[in-house]
Structure 1
Amino acid sequence: MENNCEPVRLLTREEAAALLHATPKTLANWHSSGVGPPAVKISGFIRYEEPAFYAWYHANKEVAA
């Protein structure tokens, strides 16, 4: 287990979906398929650590032609 005491903002599935202009159900489907932003489960709730979410976003975005 990582021992990092730095606070990290956690995004809810709804917040992450809104940032991607997607639905929470889309993120749930991605999660169950093993794609999409990395998620953590805390007390039974899926959350997205903000730095990891934005790293995934920048690594996976494509420039529209």
Structure 2
Amino acid sequence: ALDQFLRKDLTRDDILDALVLAVSAGFSSKSIKTVPLNPPRDPKGLPMQIVFFVLNRADTMDMPKELMP
């Protein structure tokens, strides 16, 4: 991909971001959490939130109860 696009249009971290998103999309939706739970929306209607993957119950020890899987 780096050979096909100008450096100003595509950087190495863009490729890493795309790979992480692709792998994360393959996990069960039960393991995907968001913060905040009811996010505000931007002017285009997109939710302004952080989406993250919870590996297992041990990963949630310090997580607020409402975010627990």
Provide TM-score, normalisation by structure 2: 0.23
Bigger Rg over Cα: 2
| Structure with the largest fraction of helix | 1
Q: Which structure would you say has the larger RCO, counting Cα contacts within 8 Å and 6 or more residues apart? A: 1
